[in-house]
Structures are given as structure tokens and as C-alpha cells.
Structure 1
Amino acid sequence: MFSDLSAQKDGSTLLCRPGSEDQGPVFERMLPTYTPSIERFRLGERSFNRQYAHIYSIRLMQMRPILTEKAQQKWGADLQIRKLCDLEAGEQCCIVGTLFKHMELQPSILKEISEEHNLLPQPARAKYISETDELIMEDELQRIKLEGKIDKDKCVTGSVIAIYGAEKNAGKFTVEDYCTADLPLQTPRIPLSSDRFVLLASGFGLGSSHADSMLGLQLLVDMVTGQLGDQGEQSGAASISRVLLAGNLLSHSTQDKEASTKAKYLTKKTQAGSVEAIRLLDELLLQLVASVPVDVMPGQYDPTNYTIPQQPLHRCMFPLSSVYPTLQLTTNPYQANHDGVRFLGTSGQNISDIQKYSSMNSHLDILESTLRLRHLAPTAPDTLGCYPFYQRDPFILEECPHVYFSGNAPSFESKLITGPNGQEVRLVTIPEFSSTQTACLVNLRTLDCEPVSFSAFSTTDDDDSEMNISH
């Protein structure tokens, strides 16, 4: 059993201890050094008067020298690198540019308002790819259609890559090979002497009618705060040094019923269900922050701006938990250092959007592809709403993370990948808790990751409830 904060005002120490002296030993929770790095995702002046074309030009400008170097490493230092305006028919060369995929099935605002013109609206689709899709490369001045050895179904609009080949067939560029920016350089991790864990969870879905998900959620809170299990499990829970909640803390049922048919830039109405869900979230956070630091990211269904980067939820919505210094309301995307381990991730909108507009289905594969592209959200602003940046693209990865995650995935998946310069990155897809009853633990010492699953009802006759931990 864990106590409340031993120093609530300064947040200096958190203790795990029994409620009285005769109940067992004292467990001290290990707190990591924590450095948030979310300033790049914070919006200062919010103006939507600019054109979104600036994002693509800035993205290409920032990525061009990186891809030029990668292309020369792959295809030789004497490689001919051309811009589209200098392209000569039949010449073997390299082009660095931004991909655009022309898709007949892609939704548009004109189709969204087609009902006003008595036209048949587009049916909902899980995928928008088709055999008629065309892949096009653009630079600052021109564009050209692509064919050859490049899988158009796996590519998405907004990806900046380098292609090698020649213009051969009626003004089309025949691709013989291509390369991405791949992983950026990585700061080495600081060796740790003991295991320390960060618990990742997402998709609580508060405000829905599923009572069993609430029971599983309470089991999760009880485990982290030391109210669950014997002394051995309490000692293990004391090694959880931080909790990260990756968005969709509220259910989609708390949204305005007309939100799915309205243009996404319209302001969402506040529903009574969302007010009650926020109150419930505040009570759950109160239990957590009294025992462990908690980072809270917004998600697609949470009450903040729709476009990414989503800004932190407002503290006034959490009158109970916000008085604790251990509550950190952060942006989506999220970036922070935990004991020298660099965490980077999103609440999952970028991954879900790529899944709709490509042939890739695995969230883990898509997560890796964005890391290899060195860009968090290549489909923004084409199919994923984002702020119209014009001086920089904050979604370009300038430093390689050690843990790269996305929330609200259909299932837990994880793997360790290596980069060309020895980078090691733990990829994690955090499952939606409301449907899977699963969170995951990342070991800061080893970068190992394991799921933690809860069942609200036991399959045995002896217990009323059960907690299962998978390794």
C-alpha cells in the first residue's frame, strides 16, 4: 500500500509505505530525472491566415541536405543530383523531392458538403487506396509522375525521399532505387544500476457505457499506487517511476453527434457526457499523482484543439489533481528525457491516418516507417489536420529517440530496431485500454517492454477479480 506525497508542495519525494507500521516494510519509489522537451510543439501566435504550402517547402528545404548525403552514401559521391527543372531525358540521376499520391478515393471537402447539392455522399471506407492511384514527385518548381521500383501503395503524400533512375517513358521518371533519410544521430543512454519503469497507457475511453473497462482501469490505478497484490508486487510497483497517458482519455461517445459529419475545423460543442468524463478523469488522476508523477497527453477525442500539435489540456479542468506538482499536462506529440532515455511519441492520429492512405496495416510497421522517413506526420497537412507552420516543420526528427511510441493501437506490439550508426530504438504501440485492458511497461535500464493486462472478472471460482501480467 502506498502513501500520499511526502512533500506535496515541492514534489521532492514520493514514498510507498503501508498504512500502518504493522502492515509491512516501506517501499521507496525511484524517481528518474525528468526533462520535458515539448517547446517545439507549443504554439505561440495562432494564425490560420497562411497557406499550407509553406510547410511542404520548409520540409523539403530542411530534408534536402540530409537526403543528398544519404543518396551519395548509397549511390556514390559522384552521383548526379538534379532538380526537376534541370532533368534531361535518359540521364541517370538522383532527385530529392516530396511525394504526392493522387488518389481517386481520397475524401475532399467538396464531397463532405455534397449533401447540400443533393449528390450521393461518399461511403465510409477503411482504406482509400486503389489500383488507379498515381505517385508523383514534387520539388520547389515542378512535378513528375513516377513508375518503376517503388511501391506506390506503401507510400504516402508528404514523404520526402531521394529516388534514383531516369526519365524514360513519355515524361515519367522510372525509379530504379530510392532511399529515405533514415534514423538521425542518437545521444547514448546513461547506464542505470537498477530497473526503473515508465508505464504507458492510452485510450481510457471515459464516458462510455462499458462498466468492465472501468473495473480494469481501477485495477491499473491500484497496481501503480500499491493497493494491489502482495509485498512482492508492491515492491515491483515501486519501481514504476512515471506514468504516461497517451491520449483518448475520453470516449468518442462524449463527442458531438454531428462531429463525424461536420468539417473538422469547426469548433466542437461541449457535451454533458464529456463534462462528467473529465470529472471522472480528475478523480482517477488524483489517485495516481498522489503517488507517482503522471504525464497526460491529449488525443483525438479529448477537449483540446483538433489539429496537431495538440496543446495541453487546461489545468482548470482538473481542480483536484492539478494542485499536485506531479501532474504534467503535455502536448501531443510528446517528447521528454527520463533518466537519459529519450521518449518521443504521439497519441496515434498520425499512425491511423497513414494506415488509411497506404497498404500498411500494422501500426508497428507504420511507426517504423515514420522513423525511417525521419518525420512524425508526413501526411500532415494533406489528410491529417495540423497548424500551418511557415518557418519550421516541428515534426522532422532532429535527434533519434530511445523509445518511440504511438497510442490507441488495436493491440500491443513492440520491437527493438537498430540504425545505420548504431542507434537503438524501442518501438511501442500502446493498445487502447478500453478495449484491450492492457498497458505496457518500459524498462529504462534495458529498453525492454512488456504488456500488463488486467481482467475485470476472473476465470476461476476463487477470486472476484484477477490481474494478469504477460512477459
Structure 2
Amino acid sequence: MLREPNGVSDASLTLQRAVLDYSARDERFALDKKIYGQYFQLYFQRLMLLGPRLKQAVGAKWPGVPAVKVLDLKEGEECVVMGTLYKDMKLKPSILDEYVKEAGAKASEVAAKKFVSDDDSLVLEDEGARVRLTGKGVAVDCFVTGVVLAVKGRVVANGEFEVDEICYPAPAPQATRPSATDEASSAGRHVLLCSGLRVGDDAASSALNLELMCDYVTGNLGGANEQGVAASIARVVICGGALPEVDVPAQSLDGRAQAAVARPLRQLDVLLTTLAASVPVDLMPGDGDPTNQALPQQPLHPCLFPEAKRFSPHTFASCTNPHDFTIGGVDFLGTAGQNVSNLAAYTNVVKGGAGGDDDAGEALDLMEATVRWQHVAPSAPDTLACYPYKDRDPFFIERSPHVYFAGMQPAFGCRKVRVGDAETVCVSVPDFSKTSAVVLLDVDTLECHPVTFGR
């Protein structure tokens, strides 16, 4: 802020940056030498981890109804079966489609955004066998392979299981959120969520809007009210898509091409340095960023950001995707959006509802579904690439977050989802390159709203 020529500043006009306790819990997303196995082991671990909570939910919802294994099913007897879903999809892309032109989906079908069809069917598999599901109690379009659940019903004459009702695992325990003090409630303390900055790609993202966003966060934009809000931002989380989508050829590049590829990295380094000098920043990788593409994505290497890394670990952190952390006593869990985008391609679920732009309705529906399924990425590894963990499943929800976010979505949206005693706020973080919008979330009230630049 400008000062009088005598150099004396008015203390009442000096704004202090909000500071909140922060801790990350990304250890379970780290890759080590012990993870590699077969994918069936990942599905088995998922069933073992969610099985006890599923039995708890079944006992509470359907007391007195016997739970049996698939091999022990008897025709006409009402019972409960627990297991993992497999979705048989005619249009699901296969690598063999490139070589077998007459079999499976045609090229025009594979290019579609949705792979659902009327011929899709569901199979429930436990440790010993599998049974095909039918009936009005199960909506095939709403599920993907990998969901752990229980069904109540009976075996009919053709050997299929007719479903009456569905039950999901009991929610993971949720930490008690600290009560906001009067001082904090009046001033407000915020976390800024953004994604899809696409720094260095002027065709995809407006450089002016990026500069406006940076000036806003650092307190160099707007009047006293705007600067007060900027000072209340305790952390910035970039949820993927910070760099442009670049196709780097396999052959070596000449000097000019190398400079073109490196230019966005230098520009992002400048942006991160500017932000980290004013406010703590978490940088998550996303689809197409220079790290591994299979989930969980590992942090972008510090050597990519020689200037910003000097602020590490105090105000700059390169994080994993998914990212699990606590700030101000509020638990956050989020992804760069690949899990939601993948679910959108293999389901057809649009309920809509209050809490944001209509374009975010599908994203919020799918995020709500993953909260109820108690798993962030149920479609991995079937249709979403992930590492073949053999001794754990890092994507199941082991503690219910207060805030669950997904980046790279078409529009902003938020929705409160209650599962048992746990309540989670789902936040659809818009793609900045398409919307020029970021999300401000109040840590004390968990209310959030978008802030749009350049309009």
C-alpha cells in the first residue's frame, strides 16, 4: 500500500496474512519398491479394507437378513451378498480394437465421450464366485467396475440375483472440526483452490487473467475490501493443469524446440515464486504434467522450479495427486480430476441439485457417489491407470474429509453430502483456462464461492 512521503505507515492499514496450522498426509500415495504385484491383489485388498465397514452397514440396515457367499446362494431365499462389482460394457475401449476392425466397438463409438449402452450389465463377485445382478433395485448406468457394496434380494429361476436394495460401506470416522472463534469468524480464513492455469499457453489461458489472479492473491489488486479478503487466504492449492498440454516427440529436439518446451516451466516458476513469497502454495500434478501419468501421481520434481523451490518446505510444497492434508483443523482430500472425468465416461448419472453451476451437476453427482462408495477412484485399475499395489489400496477413504475437491472441472459447484454421522463438502474446482475462475473456501464455515477474473 502507498505510504506518505514521510515514510510513516498507518498501522491500521497494515494487513496481516492469515496463518493456519498445516500438515500433509500423502505418505500412502508415495511409490516404493514393494508396491508392484498383480491387479487382482489390489481388488482383493479393497474388499478386505472395506469389507468390515460393509458388514457393519449391512447389520444396521438389514438386521436379521442372512449374509451368504455366492457359492451358497439358493433360489428364492432372501439374503444379502457382499462383494465387488464388475461392469460388462460393450463399448469399453480395448487395445485390440486397433487391430481387429470387425470386433467390438467401431472407431466412431470409441471416440465418443460416453461408453455406456443399453446392453451393459453388472456382476457381483466375492472371494469365491460371481453372480449376475438384475432387477429394479440396481441402476446399471450408475456404477463402474470396482465398487464394493452389498445387495439384498434373491436368486431367480435363470440363476441371476434379483436386487431389491443396495447398501454401501459405513463411512470412515471423521475428526471433529474446531469451533470458529469470534475473531476468526468476522475476519474469515480461506483456502484458495484453482486448477487448469496452463501457464505459458496463451492460446488456452489468458496471461492477463493469470496476472490478475496473482495480483489478487498477493494483495496488489482492488480496494480495502478485496485486499482484506486476499489477506485472509491462508493457502493456495493448485489442483493440476498448471502447465500446458504439450506433445513432446520421441526423437531429440533442436535448440529452438527445447526452448519452446522449457518456456512454460520458467513462466510457471516465476508465478509460483511470486505466490510463495506471499502465501503458502501446494502444487498438485495433473493429466499431462511432467510426472508419471498413472495414479497416484508423484510430486513434480523440484528441479523444474529452481526459484520456487527456495521457499520449500515453508511456503512451497510439490504434492502428490491425490492430495490429503489438514489445515486449520479441517481435513481436505482432493484430486486433479482424473477420477471424476473417468467416471463420467463410464456412467450416465445426472441428478443435478443446488450448489453451483448446472455444468458442474454431473461432477458433483459423481463426487457424491465416490463419497458414498468410500473410495476415491473405484474405476482404477479397470479404466483408470494406477499402480498395482499388492499390500494396500491407497484410494479408499480411511478418514472422512470435511472437504473433498476435484480439479479441472467444467464449472464451479459445491454440495454437502452426509453419510451417517460424517458430512463432507464436495467442491468442483473449475478449469481456469476455460472459466478464469478460482474457488475461495472459508475454513471456519466451509462455505465457498467462485472468484472470476477478466469479466
Establish whether TM, by shorter chain, passes 0.5. yes
User: Partner residue of 1:124?
Assistant: 111
Secondary structure of the corresponding residue to residue 280 of structure 1: helix
User: Partner residue of 1:399?
Assistant: 399
| Counterpart Cα distance in 1 of 2:142 and 2:374 | 16
User: Partner residue of 1:469?
Assistant: none
Which digits, 9 at most, give the CA deviation of each residue in 1:337-391, with x for residues without a partner?
0010000010000000000000025101100100000000000000000010011
Q: Please tell me the residue identity of whatever aligns with 1:235.
A: G
Contact 1:104 1:133 in 2 (8 A): yes
Q: Please tell me the residue identity of whatever aligns with 1:397.
A: I
User: Partner residue of 2:427?
Assistant: 428
Secondary structure of the corresponding residue to residue 379 of structure 2: coil
Secondary structure of the corresponding residue to residue 28 of structure 1: coil
User: Partner residue of 1:144?
Assistant: 131
**Residues 164 and 287 from structure 1, CA distance in 2 versus in 1: closer, same or farther, beyond 3 angstroms?**
same
Shift of 1:288: 0.1
| Counterpart Cα distance in 2 of 1:46 and 1:385 | 18
| Counterpart Cα distance in 1 of 2:382 and 2:446 | 34
User: Partner residue of 1:356?
Assistant: 345
The answer to whether the aligner puts 1:311 opposite 2:301 as a matched pair is: no
Which digits, 9 at most, give the CA deviation of each residue in 1:75-124, with x for residues without a partner?
11x22111111111221110111111100100012124558x9x974640
Secondary structure of the corresponding residue to residue 255 of structure 1: coil
| Counterpart Cα distance in 2 of 1:271 and 1:418 | 50
Q: Please tell me the residue identity of whatever aligns with 1:196.
A: R
Contact 1:192 1:445 in 2 (8 A): yes
Shift of 1:426: 1.2
Shift of 1:72: 1.3
Secondary structure of the corresponding residue to residue 407 of structure 2: strand
Where do 5+ consecutive residues of structure 1 fail to align? 3-19, 259-269, 459-471
User: Partner residue of 2:174?
Assistant: 186
User: Partner residue of 2:28?
Assistant: 40
Which digits, 9 at most, give the CA deviation of each residue in 1:252-276, with x for residues without a partner?
2x13479xxxxxxxxxxx9754422
Q: Please tell me the residue identity of whatever aligns with 2:345.
A: K
Secondary structure of the corresponding residue to residue 287 of structure 1: helix
Task: Give the root-mean-square deviation of aligned CA atoms.
Answer: 2.2
| Counterpart Cα distance in 2 of 1:408 and 1:110 | 30
Where do 5+ consecutive residues of structure 2 fail to align? 251-256, 351-361
Contact 1:167 1:174 in 2 (8 A): yes
Choose from 264, 271, 278 the match for 2:265: 278
Contact 2:155 2:162 in 1 (8 A): yes
Q: Which moved more, 1:342-351 or 1:274-283?
A: 274-283
Secondary structure of the corresponding residue to residue 282 of structure 1: helix
Q: Please tell me the residue identity of whatever aligns with 1:342.
A: D
**Residues 227 and 159 from structure 1, CA distance in 2 versus in 1: closer, same or farther, beyond 3 angstroms?**
same
Shift of 1:192: 2.5
| Counterpart Cα distance in 2 of 1:169 and 1:127 | 33
The answer to whether the aligner puts 1:331 opposite 2:320 as a matched pair is: yes
User: Partner residue of 1:83?
Assistant: 69
User: Partner residue of 2:441?
Assistant: 442
Q: Please tell me the residue identity of whatever aligns with 2:365.
A: D
Which digits, 9 at most, give the CA deviation of each residue in 1:425-468, with x for residues without a partner?
1110000000000000110110101111111xx6xxxxxxxxxx
| Counterpart Cα distance in 2 of 1:273 and 1:152 | 47
Shift of 1:222: 0.3
Shift of 1:419: 2.6
User: Partner residue of 1:93?
Assistant: 79
| Counterpart Cα distance in 2 of 1:301 and 1:113 | 26
Choose from 54, 57, 64 the match for 1:67: 54
Instruction: Report sequence identity in percent.
Output: 41
Q: Please tell me the residue identity of whatever aligns with 1:67.
A: L
The answer to whether the aligner puts 1:369 opposite 2:369 as a matched pair is: yes
| Counterpart Cα distance in 1 of 2:70 and 2:228 | 62
Shift of 1:179: 1.0
**Residues 281 and 272 from structure 1, CA distance in 2 versus in 1: closer, same or farther, beyond 3 angstroms?**
same
The answer to whether the aligner puts 1:214 opposite 2:207 as a matched pair is: yes
Q: Within 5 Å, which residues of 2 pair with 1:2-17?
A: none
Secondary structure of the corresponding residue to residue 193 of structure 2: strand
Q: Within 5 Å, which residues of 2 pair with 1:217-296?
A: 217-252=210-245, 254-256=246-248, 273-296=260-283
**Residues 410 and 211 from structure 1, CA distance in 2 versus in 1: closer, same or farther, beyond 3 angstroms?**
closer
Higher helix proportion, which one?
Answer: 2
| Counterpart Cα distance in 2 of 1:313 and 1:271 | 19
Contact 2:195 2:430 in 1 (8 A): yes
User: Partner residue of 1:200?
Assistant: 193
Secondary structure of the corresponding residue to residue 242 of structure 2: coil
Secondary structure of the corresponding residue to residue 237 of structure 2: strand
**Residues 329 and 46 from structure 1, CA distance in 2 versus in 1: closer, same or farther, beyond 3 angstroms?**
farther
Secondary structure of the corresponding residue to residue 178 of structure 1: strand
Contact 1:255 1:274 in 2 (8 A): no
| Counterpart Cα distance in 1 of 2:179 and 2:389 | 38
Q: Please tell me the residue identity of whatever aligns with 2:122.
A: L
Shift of 1:209: 3.4
Q: Please tell me the residue identity of whatever aligns with 2:227.
A: Q
Contact 1:207 1:273 in 2 (8 A): no
Contact 2:374 2:397 in 1 (8 A): yes
Q: Please tell me the residue identity of whatever aligns with 1:199.
A: L
User: Partner residue of 2:359?
Assistant: none
The answer to whether the aligner puts 1:379 opposite 2:361 as a matched pair is: no
The answer to whether the aligner puts 1:408 opposite 2:408 as a matched pair is: yes
TM-score by length of 2: 0.89
| Counterpart Cα distance in 1 of 2:399 and 2:202 | 42
| Counterpart Cα distance in 1 of 2:54 and 2:122 | 19
User: Partner residue of 2:17?
Assistant: 29
Q: Please tell me the residue identity of whatever aligns with 1:365.
A: D
Which digits, 9 at most, give the CA deviation of each residue in 1:193-218, with x for residues without a partner?
21210000001122423276221111
| Counterpart Cα distance in 2 of 1:335 and 1:184 | 15
Secondary structure of the corresponding residue to residue 303 of structure 2: helix
